[in-house]
Amino acid sequence: MDNASNITNKTWDKSEQIRIFLQVMTWTAALEIIFTVVGTFLNLWLLGSILTSRDLRVRMRNQLICNLSILNLVQTVIKSPAMTSIAIIFLYRIRVSIDVFCQTFSITTVVEFIQSFIGDWLMVFVIIIFIAHILDFDATAKLTPRTVKICKVVMHIAPWIAGIIITFISVVMLTRWHPCLIIPYEKMYAFEIAYTIIPTILSIVLLVVAFVLRQRRFSRGTSTASGHMGVQLLGRGPEIDR
């Protein structure tokens, strides 16, 4: 009797786990579809709004925002459809090769790492530009035009190059890929430190610095910056943006 009861409980537990898993896959598919449609539209709208306005697109901070929008399009055009496909495979029990499934999931994971690295470090650059805006820093008066252009190019492409290279090296050195990408739990800290913790801490520190500088300059009446952060990021600013 006890054996029969144990078998029944195990069967029920397995059925419940499958039900919960399929429910999670349903929500995953729904959310990823929403991200794909809404996210793609919003990012294209933001890109179009900035790129079609000369006053907006010449500003470095707005160019960095465009860079972030392009990065977000990677999420909505590549990663979200891939995650939707994986969820649909489970929901409809579509037979696919384990190699194909693992490779799709693994590539999605790698793209997520790259995207996280680029996004977090681009945000650091945006905050740096915001601080320069508060300080009314005039780059054209202190640097040569060529140096300014080089700095702009570096700020745009450095996170992408670094993100791809660091991710590739990390995946090769810290993970196994037979056939799925497996990241040992004890080695996840290496990814988290480089991809999230360092840029997040740096962003927080820079935001605190920006807040203090903004309050001090406004209290002294020495800053030409006005309005909330969104206005200061998208509006006219000092020559560092040109």
Amino acid at 228: H
- Across residues 119-128, what is the average pLDDT? 90
Q: Which of 148, 132, 158 is nearest to 233 (CA)?
A: 132
Check whether 160 has a pLDDT greater than 90. yes
How far is 193 from 185, CA to CA, in rounded Å? 14
Burial 172-190 (b: 16+ CB within 10 A, else e): eeebeeeebbebeeeeeee
Please tell me the predicted confidence (pLDDT) of residue 78: 86
State the DSSP string of 217-233. Answer: HHHHT-----S-HHHHH
Amino acid at 106: S
Check whether 8 has a pLDDT greater than 60. no
Please tell me the predicted confidence (pLDDT) of residue 47: 93
Please tell me the predicted confidence (pLDDT) of residue 11: 54
Q: How far is CA 149 from CA 60, 163, 201, in A?
A: 10, 22, 28
151: Cα separation from own chain's centroid? 22
Residue 202 half-sphere exposure, CB side, CA atoms within 13 Å?
16
Please tell me the predicted confidence (pLDDT) of residue 179: 61
How far is 139 from 132, CA to CA, in rounded Å? 9
Domain ranges in the chain are: 2-241
Check whether 178 has a pLDDT greater than 70. no
Amino acid at 55: D
Residue 3 in tokens:
């054996």
State the DSSP string of 176-216. Answer: EESSSEE--GGGHHHHHIIIIIHHHHHHHHHHHHHHHHHHH
- Across residues 224-235, what is the average pLDDT? 49
Burial class (CB in 10 A: 0-12, 13-18, 19+), 227: exposed
Residue 197 in tokens:
């913790």
64-120 confidence digits (pLDDT tens): 999 999 999 988 888 888 888 888 887 787 777 777 777 777 888 888 888 888 999
Amino acid at 186: E
Q: 227 near 126, Cβ under 8 Å?
A: no
Residue 63 in tokens:
């160019």
- Residue matched to tokens 């290496």: 190
Class of domain 2-241: mainly alpha
Amino acid at 83: M
Q: 113 near 219, Cβ under 8 Å?
A: no
Please tell me the predicted confidence (pLDDT) of residue 136: 79
